[in-house]
Structure formats: structure tokens, C-alpha cells
Structure 1
Amino acid sequence: MSDAYLALADGRVLEARARAPGTTRGELVFTTAYTGYEESLTDPSYAEQVLTFSYPLIGNYGVRDERFESGTVQPRAAIAREMTDEVAAWLESEAVPAIDHLDTREVVTTVREEGAMACGIAAGDDVTPEDAIAEMEACEPMSAHVDIGADVSVATPTVHEGGGEVTVALIDCGAKGSIIDSLTARGADVHVLPYDATEADVTAIDPDVLFVSNGPGDPENYVAAQAVVDALAGELPMAGICLGQQIIASALGGSTEKMMFGHRGVNQPVKDLRTGKVVMTTQNHGYTVDDTGPLEVTQVNVNDDTVEGLDSESLDVITRQYHPEANPGPHDSLGFFDEVVAMATNENPVTAD
């Protein structure tokens, strides 16, 4: 008899083994990354989602908090083919349900063929399939989480000092810690502002550049961040990663759309249209820019031609859909952060991406 169940929106209920008890629900997604489970599980972009690992063994090099991207586990639940006791204990300590001993190939194939979908999980003693089904039926679409930024953003402004060479105002929509580290490592003082910061909050810092971070959910729900971008466009250099690219494009007259199952992994090929060079990138997103507005498409995904990079010389804007900080993943595109610093100093670095 099983002690865990995964209910899918297509009507199926899969049996599994409970590794961390609890009942929960969320959007079912998967990552193809075979390392970096600590970084993935602490990435705020996974808020309100149930994360499936396609790699069959999760936990084979332990759990170390220096690899964490935030202070807590972010997905609503975790699914693996096999999960080590150390990872299971970590998730249980965070009250995050976890299950294994199910065919994750079937789960991944289902999401690829039918799209990211609502799911419910019930794990532990005395749970039933009906418990998982009830969770699935109560699951809301990502677009319904209109204030999801409040769950992953700083509550009050914080400052990370990097030497004071430039000042970055970072709107925190769920920023990974390694993004901030990448900026401070290049001499930037990073002022991290809440996701609902205002134009006045930004200008009070007198920054050299505005940076919009990654984060979870539908970019159209980040109305405050879009208002800041709209107000300061052309007056202040701007950069964005992942959700940040989507927010900036939307604010400047473009639009976004939800992808069928998104890009989540560390081996997404991206082509630079100016140089013809292809780099491997880390990605974690379920939305993409559909209409780029006044921004120029400079990079595209080799697999599906979705927008990976946007630039505007006249507006002084550069954005990337992927994660140049590369935690976890390849370091091919770390040069993006040199470009961000160069925007503030009016220099023109030679970059890797």
C-alpha cells in the first residue's frame, strides 16, 4: 500500500513513496538539470510550483546551505525518482512535502505533451488518493497569484556593498542570491528594493542603473515594477533577468505569453544574432516575451526561437531571459554582468555572451 499520491489535472493519480509528509498543490513543472538541486529548490522562481527532477537520483552530494539561492525551500513540493535521506530530511524540516519511487519519466513526458498543469500531492500516514485529488482541484493557475511577489521579495530595502564603483537599484521580484553576488563581485553596491517599490523609492537611491530581477508567476501581475520601468525608461539605464526581461518588455509596450511547459534546466542553447555565437545557458521560466515593443531581439533560443535577449541603445536597456549567474549551470554568459556595470560607467567591455 502506498503512502503518497500525485493527482494530475488529466485525471490520473500516481502512487509514490512519502519522503516528507504533507498535502499541497501547485503547478507541475520539471527541470532537466542533473546537478544543482540545492539551488533549484531554493530558487524563488519556483514559488507556487511542484518541482519534478528528471535526473533519477537527487541528493548524491548532500545539502550545503552555502549553495542556497534564498533562505528557504521555494517549491510547494518536490518529486524525484529516488531522493536521499539527507534531502528528504531537509525538505521535512522546511515542511515541504516530497515524494519518490514513481516514474518521473512519465511525469516529465506528461508535462511535455500536455503542458504545465495543476497537481495535488498527499504524502504520509493515512493519506488517500482523494486527498491528492482535492488538492489538485483547489489549485489555482499561476496568473491567479496576483501578489506572488510579496511571498518572495524583501519586505524592506537592504544594501549589499561591493565597493561603491557603481550603484544598482534592484527591484526584487524573487531575486536569486547569486545575481546579487555577481553584481557586488564587480564592484557594485546593490540596493535591493521590494517588488512593489515606487519610482520615488528608486530615484531616492540615485542609482547608476535599474535592475529588475527574476521571480515567479505571471509578469503582467507585477504592475508596480512595470510602472517604475515605464516612468524611468530613457532616463536611467536598465537591465533585467528572466521575469525582469518580461516586465521591462511589457512596460515598454510589448507583451508576454505563457509557454506550454517552459524552459527549466542548464543546457538551453542560445544564439546571439549579432555574432552568430551559441552559448549554453541556465533557465527557469514559464512565460516568454511575445511582442518586444521598441526593444531589439539580439538573442534567441536555438530550440524554439523564443526571445532570449533584448537590447535598446536609445533607451539604454539590456535584458536576458536566461540566468547568466549560472548557479547551477554553465558559465558561458557571465559577461552579461560586465555589460550591466559598463552601462553605469559608460564603458564598452568585451563580453562572453
Structure 2
Amino acid sequence: MTDAYVALADGRVLEARCRAPGRANGELVFTTAYTGYEESLTDPSYAEQVLTFSYPLIGNYGVRTERFESENVQPKVAIAREFTADVADWLTEAGVPAVDHLDTREIVTTVREEGAMACGVAAGPDATPEDAIEEMEACKPMSDHTDIGAEVSVTEPTVYEVDGEYDVALLDCGAKGSIISSLNERDADVHVLPYDAAPEDVAAVDPDLLFVSNGPGDPANFVAAQEVVDEFVGDVPIAGICLGQQVVAEALGGDTEKMEFGHRGVNQPVQDLESGRVVMTTQNHGYTVADPGPLEVTQINVNDDTPEGLDSPDLDIITRQYHPEANPGPHDSLDFFDDVLAMANSTRSVAAD
């Protein structure tokens, strides 16, 4: 049954089956993850995107809210070879269009060959190819979503307390919940601040560590977060994940660039340049650091040599392009959180002396 259409920027319109009705558009991307569909669909880094699952069956172990990385479904549209009824019902309730019964191999190959592109979807009994094309033509480039942080960030400071030893000020540019959990589990109280928090908001926390989260879109649009990093660099240890690495690099005079189709999945190999060790990582980003500025590249992606880790012992900075907290994915790099809190502890001990 054809009651849905997917329009691509290359001019093709694909027929599909509606699993959750609606019309929407976004940047077409894919993930290679076999599992973790709940985590992927609630990852704020997928805001303003159309997420295609390369694995053919999505929903084979149901939908459990305790696996969510945020309260909302984040992609504008979800596409799979086949969605189970559980996932279809969840997406319908969330108001996020979803389609299946189309060749997702063709979509993945298209993105791999032509890059992430504008996509429009129309799904439901009255949907037409023209509706999907109209949506695709209305799709904005990711760099034009200048205030995308407002879609995914808290609006007021929120504290996740464990009566811990450390206070972490986390700039919420679209933070995954598992980042907060990973810090809480290591005896840190996490003060989650809006993406556009001012330096005085961070100063009020009196943090042992400033942490810049992951998030969607172009890091050049997170100007307030860059200003906070610039204000505290050298005074407070700084860590960042994914978009956070890019924001820190730009704040220190480096530069970023858009990738052709990005890194999205749970099998990205990363090599530590000092030890030579390679770990498998979870990633979800469409931009990368082109110029690290004063930061040292300490880890690279084995597939394309893009920077995966930036460090500066002199400035007390550690950032990672991938997601050490995984969810979904391997836990090979969870020691990142131990390293950044050790950095905070060392700096605090020096200040006390």
C-alpha cells in the first residue's frame, strides 16, 4: 500500500507506507546502529533531520521510556525498512511522521554517494507526491537553523544532585541524558544550564568543571556557548562531547566544517595517537573540527583522519568528538568521564593549596 512519499533533493520521489501520519522536512541522514532505536530517536543531535535506519527491522524489543535520552522524539521524520507496531504507535503519539516499506539500502547509498541532502515527507491517506516535494523545497540547510539550540535546551537551570564531591556546569546544547547520568555516577552534581547561558550564570555555580554538551546543527550558531568557554578557559577545567568539541575549538580560535554525510552509528573506529590503541565508538555529528587552534589532536578517526580527541594539559581541556557514554553502542571509552573529573580534582587541589 502506497500512502506516503519521500522526496529527495536529487529529484527522486520514493513511494512508501505511512506508519505515523504527517508532513515534515529535514536533512536526510542515516544511522548504522543495529540496536538502540529508542536512544537514537530521542537524541537531540537529530533535531531538524530525517533519520533513516540502515538496519531493516526497527522495534523488535519494544519501546521503554527508561532508555530515552530526552523527553521527546527529536528527528523530524523516521524512516525504516519496517517499523513494528510499538514504534509506529509511539511515533504517531509523538506527532512525528514515519514511513516504511521502501528500500532503505537505496537511501543509505544515495547519502553515501551524494551527501546529506534536503528531504521532504508526506504520509497519510491524503498524501501526494507533490506534498512531499513541497516539503523538500521548504527544507533549510542546517547552517540556517541559527537558533536550533532553543529547540533542544532547557529554558531554566536544572540541577541533578547526588550530594557529590564535584559541581559540574553543563551547557545544554542538546545534552543526552546519559551524559548527566555518567557524571552523577562519578560523584558529580550536574548543574544543567541553557545553551545561551551568560558567563555570570556559570560563575554562580562556582563549578569544578565546565562541560559543553552534544547538540544539533552548526557549531558556529552556538555563539553564547563559545563566549562562555572563552571567559573561563584557563580558570576552570573544560570538557566537551561532540558539538561540545567543536564549540570549544571555535571559541579558542579554531575552525569547523560541514562533513559530506557525517558520522552516525555505533561502529566508528578511533585511534589514540599516543598509545596506538583503537576503540569502537558511538557517533552522531555532521560537522567536524578543521583547525583545532591551540588544542592538540590526540585521537583520530581511522576511516578519514578527522579529529576525535582534542587536549590541552596547559589549559585543562579535554574534548571528544564521539560519545564516550555510548547508549547505544560500545563502552570502550567510558574512562573519559574519569579523566575529566580527575582534571577537575587536580585543579581544585592546586587552588586549595
- For 1:159, the aligned partner's letter is V
- For 1:92, the aligned partner's letter is T
Asked if the contact 1:32/1:264 (under 8 Å) is kept, the reply is yes
State the alpha-carbon separation in 2 of the partners of residues 94 and 108 from structure 1. Answer: 25
Match of 1:71 in 2: 71
Shift of 1:163: 2.9
Match of 2:303 in 1: 303
Match of 1:199 in 2: 199
SS at match of 1:126: coil
1:102 aligns with 2:102: yes
Deviations 1:252-280 (A, max 9, x none): 01000000000000000000001000000
Match of 2:87 in 1: 87
State the alpha-carbon separation in 2 of the partners of residues 346 and 259 from structure 1. Answer: 36
Match of 1:350 in 2: none
Shift of 1:162: 2.6
Match of 1:333 in 2: 333
Deviations 1:11-36 (A, max 9, x none): 00000000000000000000000000
Match of 1:148 in 2: 148
Asked if the contact 1:162/1:183 (under 8 Å) is kept, the reply is no
- For 1:26, the aligned partner's letter is G
- Aligned sequence identity (%): 78
Report the number of matched residues. 347
Q: Which sections of structure 1, spanning at least 5 residues, go unmatched?
A: 348-353
Asked if the contact 1:80/1:104 (under 8 Å) is kept, the reply is yes
State the alpha-carbon separation in 1 of the partners of residues 167 and 340 from structure 2. Answer: 11
Match of 1:50 in 2: 50
SS at match of 1:346: helix
SS at match of 1:204: helix
SS at match of 1:303: coil
State the alpha-carbon separation in 2 of the partners of residues 84 and 205 from structure 1. Answer: 45
State the alpha-carbon separation in 2 of the partners of residues 67 and 196 from structure 1. Answer: 27
Q: TM-score, normalised by structure 2?
A: 0.98
Deviations 1:29-68 (A, max 9, x none): 0000000000000000000000000000000000000000
Deviations 1:133-174 (A, max 9, x none): 000000000000000000100000000013321110000000
Q: Which sections of structure 2, spanning at least 5 residues, go unmatched?
A: 348-353
State the alpha-carbon separation in 2 of the partners of residues 159 and 137 from structure 1. Answer: 41
State the alpha-carbon separation in 1 of the partners of residues 280 and 150 from structure 2. Answer: 32
- For 1:235, the aligned partner's letter is D
Match of 1:5 in 2: 5
Asked if the contact 1:6/1:119 (under 8 Å) is kept, the reply is yes
- For 1:281, the aligned partner's letter is T
SS at match of 2:225: helix
Shift of 1:343: 1.2
Q: Where do residues 200-349 of structure 1 align in structure 2 (5 Å cutoff)? A: 200-346=200-346
State the alpha-carbon separation in 2 of the partners of residues 14 and 162 from structure 1. Answer: 50
Deviations 1:86-127 (A, max 9, x none): 100000000000000000000000000000000000000111
SS at match of 2:51: strand
State the alpha-carbon separation in 2 of the partners of residues 142 and 29 from structure 1. Answer: 12
State the alpha-carbon separation in 2 of the partners of residues 219 and 126 from structure 1. Answer: 38
State the alpha-carbon separation in 2 of the partners of residues 157 and 164 from structure 1. Answer: 18
Deviations 1:319-350 (A, max 9, x none): 00000001000000000000111111118xxx
Q: TM-score, normalised by structure 1?
A: 0.98
